[in-house]
Chains A and B, each alone.
Chain A
Amino acid sequence: MMLGILGGRIYDPRNSKDGEVGDIWVKDGRVVTPEDVDQKAAQTVDATGLVVMPGGVDIHAHIVGSEVNSGRKMRPEDHRGHERARSGGLRAGAGGTVPSTYLTGYLYSELGYTTVMQASAAPLVVRHTHEELEDVPNLDKGAFIVMGNNHFVMQCIADKQPEKARDYVAWLLGASRGYAIKIVNPGGVENWKWGKNVAELDDEVIGYGVTPRQIVQTLATIADDLGLPHPVHIHGINLGRHTSARTTVEMIAALDGHRVHLCHIQFLSYGAGRGHVHRSEAVAVAAAVNASSGVTVDIGQVIFGNATTMTCDGPLQYGLHLTTGNKWINDDVEGESGGGIVPITYKPGNPINGTMWLTGLELFLLIDDPWRVFLSTDHPNAGPFTSYPQVIRLLMDRDYRREMFESLHPRARRGALLPDLDREYSLGEIAVISRAGPARALGLEHKGHLGVGADADVAVYEECADKEAMFSRPRYVYKGGELVARDGAVVADVAGRTFSVAPQYDAGLEVELREYFKKAYTVSFDNYSALSGHGAPTEIVACG
């Protein structure tokens, strides 16, 4: 199939195009040179006056797998009123903050997104993650594998055997068909199995004597040594607490010299405020990010309305259950992880929610380099991904931002920096934070740009003053050169790919793992790998 998207204003930051008028030619799912296509035979689209961008790349969302599905199952009230009927070759589904799998793919298409990374999967249940990924159409995907509370890793650290830890991590990524190392509240999730948590980077993990600092440093070193395309992806300690900004800054310092991605840092950028209301410490956190060139972040911007919080951070979720009184799922996972789910509604009239909202925006506006700060709502934790157009408008339109700020509770507004921040993102910068930047941080060479050789994932928008309206209704969306959405409505269901890594390791480790599994797990070593049995193949992305 050949395609020409002609005469559009191209925003392709990686190839230094900032609105230049030009053509994009596509053949066999890739962007090619004009000479590579028979232009008479190609289907063409007149994009004159339209904005042409690479398809969106979401670096952090919870869309599939064990915890997401428990959230779906727990929340019938979340789906009602958000259903989608079958039509043509498109499947029916139920939406809300935790949509069903097919609808998740369709809803991303309707925003112009074509690549999404599943933010966490415990390896014991990652087969479930991959089953659901097969049922998410229209997106290329990958899954991050949680390791920050893994017993084998912590034992290697305690035994001072970093090489063994490296071999294990390499084996585990391959066995789970994962894409990156994820760390969630290192040590804190293990301590939660004793009803406790960690509060400092040098607190001890019960039973192992190791510390959160040692865990993150070990895994960051391993990610660098293995040459993983994406660095360690870290949800730090004290999420949601008034000590979180301090420990986030300490975390950045502890990982100096490493590549590192800190996710949804909005939730980890608070200090103590007056009257039990946290205050934004975006200035301090942004300064630390600005000063550390190896650090990338996504924000986890709060959206007012319904959300479903779900993380591997079990003690956090328990605290949220106590605070809100809302229903609570906890799930301790043997040998490696845990998790919790609590529904929540963010309200502008709630002083804490208001503080969270403005903390996220301050971070977006105070971090200087758009190549190191990415658009996310930590879907569905801070809000659903379907609200990305609203976040884009908040970043591009300071009047709209101020208007919404005025609706916040007075205690949230008091002393806030946000109204003094005049910065407005440009379209080119939006293309960086939602496409080019996350693709670069993920090491996905074929994503996030429209240069020759790139995947033909293209979103075409009609520019209008209301940027939320603009990004809510792309004129055309192509996934691998196939039209999947038109005028903001999905029109096709095409299979996506799943990316994974398979770093080298010393195969001798498997002998030890076989013995380890007999004691550590209730599942046989041979049945643990996501590769055992059938299932759709993943596409291996090279380490290097």
Chain B
Amino acid sequence: MSTVVEHVTCPFCGCLCDDLTVEAEGVEIRKVRLACSSGQGIFMDYDPRPRRPLVDGREVEWENAVAEAASILSAADSPLIYGLSSSASEAQRKAVALADRIGAVIDSTSSVCHGPTGLAMQAVGEPTCTLGEVRDRADLLVFWGCNPDASHLRHFPRFSLTAKGALTPNGRADRTVYVVDVRPTGSSKKADHFLQVDVGSDFEVLTTLRLLVKGKEPSVDTVGGVPVAQLKELVERMKSCRYGVAFMGMGLTMAPARQLNVAELFTLVAELNEFAKFSVLPMRGHGNVTGADQVLSWTTGYPFAVSFARGYPQFSPGEFSAVDMLARRAADAAVIIASDPGAHFPAAAAAHLERIPTIVLDHGPSVVASHARVVFPTAAYGVDAAGTAYRMDNVPIPLKRVISTGRLTDEEILDRIIEAVA
């Protein structure tokens, strides 16, 4: 039976493009229209075959896998729940319920990408806007430490660089575009101006911009490798634009000074509002990493790195963030949801994951699944499961089920585990 589903949301990145059309023949996806190459991969490479759960690498019945997971978690003194960013908010809510029930530490991939952005927001706030405001109003764009040309492939045409909107009918021609980064990128080649900052010097450059916005004169000609004259030109454009927007990425969050870089940029943007309307948006990566922040915040008050070990939520990045929990050997069991820390974590943290009993929920193979005690093969949200995800600008968008494979969702499996540990 062939089906055509319209207005499908791609769950790959924080853009959550929701204008795709997917054609399928039974459970085989045949064609995806409008998706970028990353999005094509999500749908076209999807393996819809039913799979059974594994315990110690052997196929078992579902109830046996659930019982094994419950027994691991019941025996654990300090369990860790991690991942969440490629799951749906419905499942994220269940993950927090499980953490609450078993006194776990829960953390999302935020802590290794835009965690510092969250800390900066907690320190100084965040003047921001939805992506439609960028498309419709922005006449000045500044991309700092991010490269959407490689990471968010439809960001430029849908929302920013070339997007046409109410006050920007000519798209690219109606905008001035800056890229600030430590090296030339695909994005910098498409910009009007590229400011190349010395590695580790973003904070100095941002501080200098704040100084110039305040009308003060730096005593040097170059800051962080950038001529002050170029910074002055940027400041003049920022102060005189109609609607300016800065996008920032891990070039700021994972460089030295981390959240201090981001707080400096957010403060600069706030201060610019004295002269011109100005907003800033973090370029959130995974499809629903923004949702993980949202769900943790509404259920616990804190966006990531939350511990329920004492019965109530405690927030401590650096202590309850997953890398730190593992590298310090502070976790004695782990539930990994739709993420692969086995492949992406520092060696000491990844090595500890191999030592402790680990339960993995994922729709495909992963390094962490290859040595997990229990593996639950799941449906993929946006492909064979429906749910909700939050776009990088915090707009919630429905994820559709475009094929019906009968696979269980993260939500359903977490429900069974919660019931079994009760």
Contact = CB atoms under 8 A, between A and B. Distances in A.
A86 B133 CA distance: 41
Interface in A170-229: 192-195
Contact of B127 (A124, A128, A193, A328): A328
A74 B298 contact: no
Contacts of B130: 124, 331-334, 522
A66 interface: yes
Contacts of B273: 195, 318, 330
B31 to A, nearest CB: 19
A440 B312 CA distance: 38
Interface string A73-88: 1111011000111110
B126 A329 contact: yes
Nearest to B295: A131
Interface string A514-544: 0000011111111100001111000000000
Contacts of A127: 388, 396-398
Interface string B71-111: 00000000000000000011001000100110000000000
A192 B297 CA distance: 28
Given A72-B297, A524-B19, A125 B396 contact: yes
Contacts of B297: 69, 72-73, 100
A66 B394 contact: yes
B277 A334 contact: no
Q: Which of A83, A99, A522 has the most CB of B within 10 A?
A: A522
Nearest to B270: A328
B199 interface: no
A45 interface: no
A321 B89 CA distance: 32
A104 to B, nearest CB: 9
A132 interface: yes
A69 B298 contact: yes
A262 interface: no
B300 interface: yes
A99 B297 CA distance: 10
A423 interface: no
Contacts of A524: 7, 18-19
Interface string B229-262: 0000000000000110000000000000000000
A100 B311 CA distance: 15
B273 to A, nearest CB: 6
Interface string A397-431: 00000000000000000000000000000000000
B133 A332 contact: yes
B388 A195 contact: no
A193 B277 contact: yes
A534 B312 contact: no
A86 B294 contact: no
A334 B136 contact: yes
Most-contacted residue by chain B among A128, A519, A523 (CB, 10 A): A523
Contacts of B315: 76, 79
Nearest to B135: A522
B394 A125 contact: yes
A94 interface: yes
Nearest to B280: A330
B416 interface: no
B335 to A, nearest CB: 18
Interface in A334-358: 334-335, 341-342
A63 B317 CA distance: 26
Interface in A288-332: 318, 321, 327-332
B116 to A, nearest CB: 14
B390 A128 contact: yes
Interface size range on B against A: 35 or more
B300 A335 contact: no
B200 interface: no
B396 A94 contact: no
Interface in B124-170: 124-133, 135-137, 158-159, 166
B277 A91 contact: no
B259 to A, nearest CB: 13
Interface stretch (B174-182, B301-309, B348-356): B301-309
A93 B313 CA distance: 6
Contacts of A135: 93, 298-299
B399 interface: yes
A128 B314 CA distance: 24
A158 interface: no
Given A69-B294, A534-B386, A329 B128 contact: yes
A527 B9 contact: yes
Contacts of B129: 330-334
A96 B121 CA distance: 19
Contacts of A92: 100, 300, 308, 311-313
Given A69-B297, A83-B313, A527-B398, A91 B132 contact: no
Interface in B311-329: 311-315
A536 to B, nearest CB: 11
A75 B18 CA distance: 32
B387 interface: yes
A192 B159 CA distance: 21
Contacts of B390: 128
B293 interface: yes
B397 A527 contact: yes
Contacts of A534: 90, 386-387
A154 interface: no
B397 A194 contact: no
Contacts of A76: 122, 301-302, 315
Contacts of A375: none
Given A124-B395, A524-B7, A341 B300 contact: no
A533 B386 contact: yes
A341 B123 CA distance: 13
A86 B125 contact: no
B312 A94 contact: yes
A480 B394 CA distance: 34
A76 B158 CA distance: 34
A100 B125 contact: no
A329 B298 contact: no
Given A64-B298, A128-B294, A194-B277, A86 B396 contact: no
B279 A94 contact: no
A101 interface: yes
A131 B314 CA distance: 23
A17 to B, nearest CB: 39
Contacts of A329: 121, 125-128
B276 interface: yes
A157 B396 CA distance: 29
B310 interface: yes
Contacts of B159: 522
Contacts of B386: 533-534
B132 A335 contact: yes
B400 interface: yes
A100 B299 contact: yes
13 contacts: A76-B301, A93-B300, A94-B313, A100-B298, A135-B93, A193-B243, A328-B124, A334-B130, A334-B131, A522-B132, A523-B397, A524-B19, A527-B9
Report, nearest first, the 7 A-B pairs whose CB atoms are least far apart.
A334-B132, A94-B301, A85-B311, A327-B125, A533-B398, A83-B312, A332-B129
Given A79-B301, A86-B100, A328-B124, 4 more contacts: A127-B397, A131-B93, A328-B127, A524-B18
